[in-house]
Amino acid sequence: MGFLNKLGIGLGAGAGSSREVPRTMSGPGRPRNNSPAPGAMGATRAPELRESNRVSNGLKEFLWNLEGLGRGALLDLGPAWQTTLSFFIERGFRVSSEDLLRAWKEFLVEEEGKLREAAGRAAQHALDVSPLARAARFLEANLQYPNSSFDAILLWDLLDYLEPVVAKQMVANLTELLRPGGVVFAMFHSKKPEGFQRYRVVDSTSLQVISSPVLCPAQRVYQNREIQDLFGRYRTMKSFVGRDQLRESLFIK
């Protein structure tokens, strides 16, 4: 089934995947009492997702770098978690949110549909499915902000899940969006992750790790040298290696 299968994303796991199942509001700061959320929550409830906290020196350093910025602008490329948005908004940031991994998956599903359509048409209308062309199409539709719009970017572990060509082009684009002196917070798995996790900010020194149904399988494990190459235009890089095979990195433009 084309590149979707190559990337480990079948159409069966498309829009109807378990990721789409509505979940209850279960922010970490909220006590779980027995009082059911009123009927407002709807009929379907997803199973509880496993959550754990981890100390994040990378986040600590990230915040330290942003101290004194005043009303800075932050781009969060993870899911729109209330706790994360709240954390930064309370500190005066103007936050933009864009769940790029979800967008990538939706893009792939859409591309697969286009491919099937194009299969019935003449060769000259065929879709260019080279990774480079696909990366260009994806980035044309995403991350559309003026240059130097942001002081900080939360990249999370996104790069591990994107096709290397897309990752490379995306980092180049993000570099344009970042102001000089701006900071990127990224995470890299030291070995191929077994599950799929998403992250949200708990406080200034810790992150909550949320095990979720796989949205996209990991594409690549980046070595130090490759990371340095990806972020070659940044003047400083600092990494913190955790015992959970997760490396947190900060890049300062």
| Position 202 contacts another protein (CB under 8 A) | no
Q: Residue 63 — φ and ψ, nearest 5°?
A: -65, -35
Q: State the minimum distance, in angstroms, from the CB of residue 208 to another protein.
A: 11
Cβ neighbours of residue 68 under 8 Å, at least 6 residues apart?
none
| Position 94 contacts another protein (CB under 8 A) | yes
C-alpha 224/C-alpha 230 separation (Å) is 10
Cβ atoms 190, 247 nearer than 8 A? yes
Under rule CB under 8 A, how many of the chain's residues touch another protein?
37
The interface mask with another protein, positions 38-77, x = CB under 8 A, is xxxxxxx-x-------------------------------
Cβ atoms 155, 147 nearer than 8 A? no
- Which of 12, 29, 70, 146 is the binder for another protein (CB under 8 A)? 29
Q: Which is nearer to another protein, 16 or 181 (CB)?
A: 16
Burial class (CB in 10 A: 0-12, 13-18, 19+), 221: middle
| Position 82 contacts another protein (CB under 8 A) | yes
**DSSP secondary-structure letter at 236?**
E
Residues that bind another protein (CB under 8 A): 20-27, 29-31, 33, 37-44, 46, 79-82, 85-86, 89-90, 94-99, 102-103
